[in-house]
Amino acid sequence: MTDITIIGTGNMGSALAKRAAAAGRSLQILNRTPEKAAELAGELGSGVISGGLAEPALGDIVIVALYYGPAQEVITRLRGSLTGKTVIDISNPINTDTFDSLVVEPGTSAAEELAKLAPEATFVKAFNTTFAGTLSAGSADGKPLDVFIASDSQEARKQVADFVRAAGLRPLEVGGLHHARELEGFQLLVMALQANPAYESFNWGTALKILD
């Protein structure tokens, strides 16, 4: 039995794998290049399994730690093995030429579009406002990172919130999957600020937080 499958071994995939291991969850790492998945699995310690994209996703939760474009492709390809699973989309569908708009239309979101590609899975938007560096650390300014969670399934939101809490982070459930629109939209602004030389202290290592 595997708790969590992470697809992708980039900065975000690695950071999420580290958090999942910290949470004591059993892990499967998948990547287009199986050697990269094996390498990350090896770093995480014994018991972490790995493979390429021909392997079925085994985790109850499947985190697609990919950019929006590759996420579309991989979800379409793995659709069969996603049935009944909770799939987390972390993507930010930013127009990276301008950092001024999204590549999805108003009135939808990357998460909602991805969900259409695998209707037998339960989609959750989460981790799109956490940068890899701070996520890997797990905290910012001595406080647990905030992880915003949107899904039409209350059960899936709770399942992801439990994982987030176990990983030492603070889950904030914001409602239905359509709220991915606001999560992706705001992160566009946060990312544009990182890319803006006027904000020198922002270098892709900030944390969006609701201070209380």
Residues that bind a copy of itself (CB under 8 A): 100, 106-107, 140-141, 143, 148, 172-176, 179, 181-183, 185-186, 188-190, 192-193, 198-199, 201-202, 205-212
Rank residues 52 and 138 by Cβ distance to a copy of itself and give the closer one.
Answer: 138
Kindly state the DSSP code that residue 101 receives in the 8-state scheme: S
Helices in 46-153 by DSSP H: which ranges? 68-78, 110-117, 132-137
Rank residues 44 and 192 by Cβ distance to a copy of itself and give the closer one.
Answer: 192
Rank residues 119 and 205 by Cβ distance to a copy of itself and give the closer one.
Answer: 205
Q: Buried (b) or exposed (e) across 19-32, using 16+ Cβ within 10 A?
A: bbbebebbbbbbbe
Rank residues 5 and 151 by Cβ distance to a copy of itself and give the closer one.
Answer: 151
Query: Pick from 107, 119, 66: which is nearest to 89 by CA?
Result: 66
d(CA 196, CA 173): 30
Least Å distance, CB 78 to a copy of itself, is 30
Q: In whole angstroms, how large is the CA radius of gyration of the chain? A: 16
